[in-house]
Amino acid sequence: MNLGLAEKVVLVTGGASRIGAATVTVLAGEGAIPVILDRDPVSEALQEILGDVGHTIRMDLNNDDACGAAVAEVIERFGSIDGLVNNAGSNDGVDLAAGTAAFLASVARNLGHHYAMAHHALPHLRTSRGAMVGVASKTAVTGQGGTSGYVAAKGGVLALTREWATALAADGIRVNAVVPAEVATAAYERHLAKFRDPEAARAAILRHIPLGHRMTDPHEIADTIVFLLSARATHITGQWIFVDGGYTHLDRALDRDAVDAR
- Active-site positions? 150
Q: Decide: residue 236, CB within 10 A, 0-12 exposed, 13-18 middle, 19+ buried.
A: middle
* Residue 203 CB neighbour total at 10 angstroms: 11
Q: DSSP of 179-199, one letter per residue?
A: EE-SB-SHHHHHHHTTSSSHH
Give me the phi and psi of 2, to 5 degrees please. Answer: -85, 110
Q: Which residues, including other chains, have CB under 8 Å from residue 243's CB and lie 6 or more apart?
A: 178, 179, 180, 216, 220, 221, 224
Q: Among 115, 116, 111, 112, which Cα is nearest to 137's?
A: 111
User: Using CA of residue 223, residue 80, residue 18, residue 149, what is the dihedral sign?
Assistant: negative
Please tell me what DSSP assigns to residue 42: P
